[in-house]
Structure 1
Amino acid sequence: MGIMTSRQYLDSLRAQHPCIYIGGERVENVADSPWFSISLRETCTQYDWPGDPAFEKDFAAWSPFIEEKVSFWTHLRLGTGEVRKLVEVIKRNNSRHFCSMCMGIGLSVMWATTWDVDRARGTNYHANLRAFFEEIQRKDFRYCMGVMDPKGDRSLPPSRQADPDLHLRVVSRNREGIVVRGAKTHTSNAPLTHFMFVSPCRALGEEDRDYAVSFVTPIDAKGLTFITRPAPGPREPREMESPVSTRIGFVECLSVFDDVFIPWERVFLCGEWEFTENFIGYFSPYVRIAKGACTSARIDILAGAAALAARMNGTERAGHIRNKITDMMIASEIGWGCVLGSLAKATEHPSGIPVPDTGISNAGLYHTRLKFIEFLGTLQEIAGGIVTTMPVEADYRNEVTRPWIDKYLRGSAKFSTEDRMKLLYFIQDLTASRFSGYLMASAICAGGTPETNRVEVQRSYDLPEKMENVRAFCGLGFPG
């Protein structure tokens, strides 16, 4: 089949029977549950894009595996050109839709990792992964990523935790497969997918070999439970007052593995602890460029909203306003430039996967994500305090109160009060809502924290070379 429609996608969800809890209740059918309506709206749109001539160029690709057209989300990107297209699509689409889900990253870097393990150990992991790629491409199935473990005491490695299940681990092996126990956190939109891809979240030592495991499993596997946090938007659509969070939002899960069986053909790593460092090394720059493109695009949205707010307020010519918006432009360009620069300096892994430059990708994301947080406040400043004190949509729709709102909340006479209200609600949703808190946490924590970026830059930057250059230039008498 290669590509499903949104209707076929919803039918595929109805055919599954995962164990899902949300809002204190168990949900048997996510496709028809109001708890998932916001997230499903976005995902259904993404399923229709590859078959739409207006979006096909970005969201469909030719697969050399199955020799068919496949969707953007199941495509394996071999070569720098393919990965550049990925980040360009993320940047372009996120400038309009906030998020396009950077699926493919986890499996792409596991493609390189399994190649390494097979050649060193004679395993069959790479063939397992290829078979899985072919399956999801033929069926157009989505997968979620289970990377982060609960971790417990961060100062201790997995095997020294008071509870050994605080990192997901293998508890038994037999001829048919393995049994795993533990949990994964931050599994975005897991109930709306078909498979879960699991990997380690850190490099591991020999004592932690049972935690060196990677695999895929159907989301309705026996023993797998999703404790789900609703999307940070209204359950009932409010198109004017919550224009972003009514349309866009992920559900997030604590995914619990209570002795889940994984057949060997679904396993990509099991006990080869030395190669967890490889996986993290490949994974890090991939996540950084995807998140860098995403964050740059979100700053573009803030810049556009700030410019419109200034125009509607009649302040677009004020020097300090123009400078603040220009600062947004600069930060976006720096972030995007680092994404492209990291790819320009990428090295190609023998498996065909390009590995972006670690230092540039981390430096760019470090700068851009902190600027995004700053600019949320800047946008509020430019739009004005009315963003957090304005009447709610219901009062604007009320025939008694609307005339007063139209009279007193109008800005420049060039624009209607209704248009100004729509923009202010948009800014409120971005900067002063539950959804804005989610955006802030995503900017800071998703794809590694700023401190993680700092550490990666410190590791990759050749400071001794710079010290030697200065020592030689100054003719200093001590050796470098």
Structure 2
Amino acid sequence: MIRTGAAYKEGLRDGREIWIDGERVADVTTHPAFKPIVDIKARMYDLHHEEATAPALTYVEENAVHSVFHQPPTETAHWDAKRKGVDILLKDVGGVVTRVGDETIGEMWSLQDGRDMLAAIDPRFAANIDNHIRRVVEEDPFHVSANTDPKGDRSRHISERDPDMMVHVTKETDAGIIIRGAKYETAAAYADQAYLKPTVGAWTDEKESDYALGCIVKMGAPGVKHICRSSFAGRSNPKDYPLANRYDEVDTLVVFDDVLIPWEDVFFYRYTKAAQFVRGTLHRYSAYPYVLRLLYVADMMIGAALWNAKQTGLDKLQSVQEKLADLAVYREGINAHLTASIALAEKSPAGLLMPNQSILYAGRVLACSQLPTMMHATRELIGGQICVTPNVAAFEAEGTAEWLKKFYTLNDNWESEDRRKLLAFARDLVSSDYAGHRLAFVQFAQAPHFNHLAAVYKSFDFSGPLDFVRKTAGLSDNVMGSLK
């Protein structure tokens, strides 16, 4: 059954070892670096129970109520429900949160598409992925994803590096496997479990098979240590940085210090073919919610830029309208790819309905590669005041408040406080440390840009353009043999 926000928080009080800024965290649910985002995740759980939102966020199966985000998609309506659900969550919490759980359960659906391969390795592995997907539906954990290892000096072969630079199996026991190493994971410190899978790589060298590992790791398990980066929350007044203080999803170097993974939580290990499959299909479902988040980022940029233009009376200028149109085209480009990927969805090997792969991956390239340009367009539309406006203390202090009220009041409709709030929001959206962090995160959270392009190359059907040109140019039928 779906948990409540209180049940989610209680589940995090499991004695897990969390460190931030050199401090051991006693309670992740109350620590100021984590409390804002934990509260948001708890709120998302509670929305599944509220009368106004529960019908759209849940479905009933065998008299049990489950989250629409965990429902394996077999028809278009399931994807429509997931998209509507994200809209409800993000509008309720008032901002963009990437790690919710819907974007990581899809990675397990991808692995289920390879269950025949897993069964060939060991029949238990195929059963394990089926069981875990069912457990996610029934137990409703906050499920995140572990991808990138520290790796070390990549000019050296893996055998010449410290073996712990990549997560690997060190021992088999009757109870399970023992693993060592580390992974970077977003939201791990306040999640229930993570899907640990191989990092980006060629995965063709059998000597690296100790590193070809896929499993579930409980975030409070013995030997799991969370070493977190500094949080943006609490650094400054929330009135000056409203996004950083609410929506920062803290990233963690998760250390696995001889961690036992029970056999029922192992999907594969020491099998490079499985690693190849995972890296080639990992995002066939999860890219959809990932790209969907950027639609809301685009909406925030459009809203901030247009409100600024209306405040200052510049919205009627053609040059301003053209830049706003650029932002709108970016937004609608994302929307079009998301919509088309479901309208032209494809059946997966496991019988699920996966978004049209070529269209979805092309949309991801558009959304991620153009984000820096769109952020700068937003800065240009808002202008220099975004970076020179004093903080809220100056707007409230005797001796400066009167002057700032004078110079930031625009007219009878736009008084200084609304002007200050908009500029603070826009600064945190596109020009703050938090904004820079989010931009870097988007570029690498689902692998770097070259990997995004590789996914498009592998999923796009080149036979149509080739055959069209063959016929139009009058090439012989024999040339089609070169495609084999």
TM normalised by structure 2 equals 0.90
Q: Which residue of 1 aligns with 2:270?
A: 271
1:313 corresponds to which letter in structure 2? T
Q: Which residue of 1 aligns with 2:24?
A: 26
Q: Which residue of 2 aligns with 1:123?
A: 123
Match of 2:57 among 22, 40, 59: 59
Q: Which residue of 2 aligns with 1:301?
A: 300
Post-superposition CA distance 1:177-213 (Å, at most 9, x none): 111111111x111111122221113462333222222
What is the SS of the residue equivalent to 1:246? helix
Over 3 Å counting, the alpha-carbon distance change for 1:412 and 1:446 in structure 2 is: farther
Q: Distance in 2 between matches of 1:94 and 1:215?
A: 30
State whether structure 2 residue 365 is matched by structure 1 residue 366. yes
Q: Distance in 1 between matches of 2:124 and 2:372?
A: 45
2:65 corresponds to which letter in structure 1? K
Q: Distance in 2 between matches of 1:63 and 1:152?
A: 47
Q: Which residue of 2 aligns with 1:285?
A: 284
Match of 1:69 among 42, 65, 70: 65
What is the SS of the residue equivalent to 1:104? helix
1:19 corresponds to which letter in structure 2? E
Q: Which residue of 2 aligns with 1:357?
A: 356
Q: Distance in 2 between matches of 1:155 and 1:468?
A: 42
Over 3 Å counting, the alpha-carbon distance change for 1:198 and 1:259 in structure 2 is: same
Q: Which residue of 2 aligns with 1:473?
A: 472
Q: Which residue of 2 aligns with 1:85?
A: 81
Measured after TM superposition, the shift of residue 227 of structure 1 is: 0.6
Q: Distance in 2 between matches of 1:154 and 1:358?
A: 31
1:443 corresponds to which letter in structure 2? V
Q: Which residue of 2 aligns with 1:228?
A: 228
Q: Which residue of 1 aligns with 2:210?
A: 210
Q: Which residue of 1 aligns with 2:47?
A: 49
Residues 63 and 75, structure 1, Cα contact 8 Å, conserved in 2: no
Counting only pairs closer than 5 Å after superposition, residues 229-248 of structure 1 correspond to structure 2 as 229-235=229-235, 238-248=237-247
Post-superposition CA distance 1:383-442 (Å, at most 9, x none): 111111001011112233212111112234431111111111100111121210122112
Over 3 Å counting, the alpha-carbon distance change for 1:368 and 1:63 in structure 2 is: same
Over 3 Å counting, the alpha-carbon distance change for 1:170 and 1:122 in structure 2 is: closer
Q: Distance in 2 between matches of 1:342 and 1:286?
A: 11
Q: Distance in 2 between matches of 1:290 and 1:182?
A: 29
Q: Which residue of 2 aligns with 1:455?
A: 454
Measured after TM superposition, the shift of residue 136 of structure 1 is: 4.4
What is the SS of the residue equivalent to 2:258? strand
Q: Which residue of 1 aligns with 2:440?
A: 441
Q: Which runs of 5+ in 1 are unaligned?
A: none
Over 3 Å counting, the alpha-carbon distance change for 1:322 and 1:34 in structure 2 is: same
Over 3 Å counting, the alpha-carbon distance change for 1:465 and 1:430 in structure 2 is: same
Q: Distance in 2 between matches of 1:37 and 1:346?
A: 39
2:79 corresponds to which letter in structure 1? V
Q: Distance in 1 between matches of 2:349 and 2:460?
A: 24
Q: Distance in 2 between matches of 1:19 and 1:75?
A: 32
2:161 corresponds to which letter in structure 1? A
Moved more, 84-93 or 271-280: 84-93
What is the SS of the residue equivalent to 1:310? helix
Post-superposition CA distance 1:275-321 (Å, at most 9, x none): 22322233233233222211122111111111111000110111111
Measured after TM superposition, the shift of residue 327 of structure 1 is: 1.2
What is the SS of the residue equivalent to 1:309? helix
Residues 36 and 230, structure 1, Cα contact 8 Å, conserved in 2: no
Q: Distance in 1 between matches of 2:21 and 2:288?
A: 34
Residues 33 and 233, structure 2, Cα contact 8 Å, conserved in 1: no
Residues 91 and 294, structure 1, Cα contact 8 Å, conserved in 2: no
Q: Which residue of 1 aligns with 2:106?
A: 105
Q: Distance in 2 between matches of 1:12 and 1:386?
A: 45
Q: Which residue of 2 aligns with 1:184?
A: 183
Measured after TM superposition, the shift of residue 148 of structure 1 is: 1.9
Q: Distance in 1 between matches of 2:68 and 2:459?
A: 31
Q: Distance in 1 between matches of 2:61 and 2:434?
A: 36
Q: Distance in 2 between matches of 1:231 and 1:352?
A: 41
What is the SS of the residue equivalent to 2:350? coil
TM normalised by structure 1 equals 0.90
Measured after TM superposition, the shift of residue 68 of structure 1 is: 1.3
Residues 114 and 269, structure 1, Cα contact 8 Å, conserved in 2: no
What is the SS of the residue equivalent to 1:232? coil
Q: Distance in 1 between matches of 2:459 and 2:67?
A: 35
Residues 338 and 360, structure 2, Cα contact 8 Å, conserved in 1: yes
Q: Distance in 1 between matches of 2:398 and 2:53?
A: 41
What is the SS of the residue equivalent to 1:124? helix
Over 3 Å counting, the alpha-carbon distance change for 1:467 and 1:266 in structure 2 is: closer
Moved more, 454-463 or 19-28: 454-463
Measured after TM superposition, the shift of residue 246 of structure 1 is: 2.0
State whether structure 2 residue 199 is matched by structure 1 residue 201. yes
